[in-house]
Structure 1
Amino acid sequence: MEQTEQDPLDVERIREDFPILEREVADGRQLVYLDNAGTSQTPEPVVDAIADYYRRYNANVHRGIHELSQEASVAYEDAHDRVAEFVGADGREEMVFTKNTTEAENLVAFAWGLNELGPGDEVVLTQMEHHASLVTWQQVAKKTGAEVKYIPVTDDGYLDMDAAEEMITDDTEMVNAVHVSNTLGTVNPVSELADIAHDHDSLFFVDGAQSVPTRPVDVKEIDADFLAFSGHKMLGPTGIGCLYGKRHLLEEMEPYLYGGMMIKKVTFEESTWNDLPWKFEAGTPVIEQGVALAEAVDYLDDIGMENVQAHEEAITEYAYDRLTEYDDVDIYGPPGDDRGAVVAFNVDGVHAHDLSSILNDHGVAIRAGDHCTQPLHDVLGVPASARASFYLYNTREEVDALVEAVDAARDIFN
């Protein structure tokens, strides 16, 4: 698939950086990888950055005067600056490295929520939340006596913003909303939600796990108080996530984990905490992962996030249009020209797990299940769905392979 006026990316050139995409599976079929909302593939420059760290300057950070430790420390600190810049934050002080989006959600919920929430307070989520936020705030609410409310989803897969206006009140202390739904593909109006939340003196937390990898995201434009995302969904390694927080909020919060590196002074009676962001990064941190994530950010910036978004929108719309050719395929969420790079669907009479197994036999890798959104699937009235998700290296030919495999499954079960 060569670069065209409609598609700003030279996808064939980009695919050269991902040798895994040339792998043969399923008795010699070339892999069609459409599970990017779960984990993206990793380009060679990022793999090289990982190897370079271990080959040249593998050492712990902030704990040694020797040269390797100094080099590792500088690289790790620079990684914070680079990732902070990527989302429009004001430097490393506002960028905490965690293990994943889930840990970032937990950090805020426990470090902020346990101290700030109590009976009579409210946390407002959406019905399309990932378990990372939904379960976390649910459990913190049980510990504090706060109430969790959920903005409903309309029949066509959008947030009910009239309901949001009514549900977010002066009793609301936190609004946590997914930016792009990992099931419906809905792109939520996060700036509007931020305005509503702030009008009631509430904080606003964005789950950016599906948006930061796929489109330009600027925390100042959104006016997010917190933003969480994961490296492994944006060409980076597993084991690293990111929490952006406004500096004054992070300074006021107590640490979530305790131990080495996050302290400034320790006696047998008392401890004081390190400067931001290190106060939230207890123990040996995610050094190699941070360095590699900075390389992934460079890779994405070189391509241009506007170009990534445009390519994904074109591919997703094409997949949506192809799948809607079948009367017995149900697609969940907004129309194909108004969604993120996710298409969740079911084929009548075929369980999503069976469909995924048949697609695997055709070399097509998708996700099947509830996608960590069980309550949303309850709202949809289905136990599970099949999900194809796309990224900057996917092609229309791969969408055609997906549709052909779905057609094969229809034939088998009919």
Structure 2
Amino acid sequence: MSIQAPRGTYDILPGQSEKWQEIEQKINELCRLYQYKEIRTPVFEHTELFQRGVGDTTDIVQKEMYTFQDRGNRSLTLRPEGTASVVRSFVENKLFGLPDQPVKLFYTGPMFRYERPQAGRMRQFVQFGVEAIGSKDPAIDAEVISLAMELYRSVGLKRLRLVINSLGDTESRLAHKEALVAHFAPRIDEFCSDCQTRLEKNPLRILDCKVDRDHPLMATAPSLADYLNEESQAYFDDVKMYLEELDIDYVVDPNLVRGLDYYNHTAFEIMSDAEGFGAITTLCGGGRYNGLVEDLGGPESPGIGFAMSIERLLLALEMEKVEIGKSQNLEVYVIAMDESAKKQAFSLLKDFRANGISADMDYTGRKLKAQMKSADRKGASYVIVIGETEMASGKAGLKEMATGEQQELLFSEMAETIKNRKTLEE
């Protein structure tokens, strides 16, 4: 019986890995432009971090976490999302003491959730996210949103829709919570067991329920927008003003609540409107989390961030038929006709690579014709054939595959000649 990858995981093979590399390069460059610095946190954390940071009423904590006991009988969890880990690190390493605030961070790495695998949603998935911690300026909300939008645009996506909402401050949310409890309580027995549990703990999460989303009470539930106090409304108006200043179109959706307990004020999602994408169109989600740093033992440090699945980004590219990550063709393929020529060929590879020129040769003892076919499959720009004559003269022909033209050169001239040609082409 062959051993296969666990359900919900997959291998990224050559031909696909180039797409990932291009996205990662764009992430690094974009974060450099916006001045977000990379942070790398452990793949597993103490379970309590996610119970406190994500919220024990969320589906993530209740149903989806990979939790285990280590040999010291400690409860540990593979990270299901990135924000809690980043905020934990922010507190533990006292980044709140840095002179420049907010602290602007980004991360890219694997996350783990036990859910039903489907296109673009796996049990191990790669998430890119940013966190700006230490400012309650609505302008930073707009900046974070614009960074997410710019990444999607930079890889060629066009069918995008930004949806935003305000979840309000503590006072606004408390008033809305009381209204939700009064609305759902008389008929809560008609809802799923999760919603019945959420009624008192976090009734806002009922609005995010996928099981009961068609219940008639959902359509008539009190809107959070009606309970925003003056300060919360002014904050939201400023966020919208800054988005307009950045020429970013948006749609306000009063039913957007997000799935994590730590959000307040600004919440947003970026959707794909590409044909064939499926029922779940969300590419990216995020929002403001004032209070999370304090919940994890730090001082008052308001924050905002987002997270996006790279797998879903790739799926959106596929739906819009956008090609990225084309393989870089091989520059030089060296063919050795016999064992005596192989040493010289191997030496040439060293020279080429030292000069930044990609080079390869045969390691299976194939005949000339087979090696030429291999050079063609690899898309080699140049081919060099070394046999007895070439070894005796110290020269070989540098054949340009696109034109068939051949130039006789000393072995010592090969690397410099190709390097100069590359410079002229650039």
Give the TM-score normalised by the residue count of structure 1: 0.25
Structure 2-normalised TM-score?
Answer: 0.24
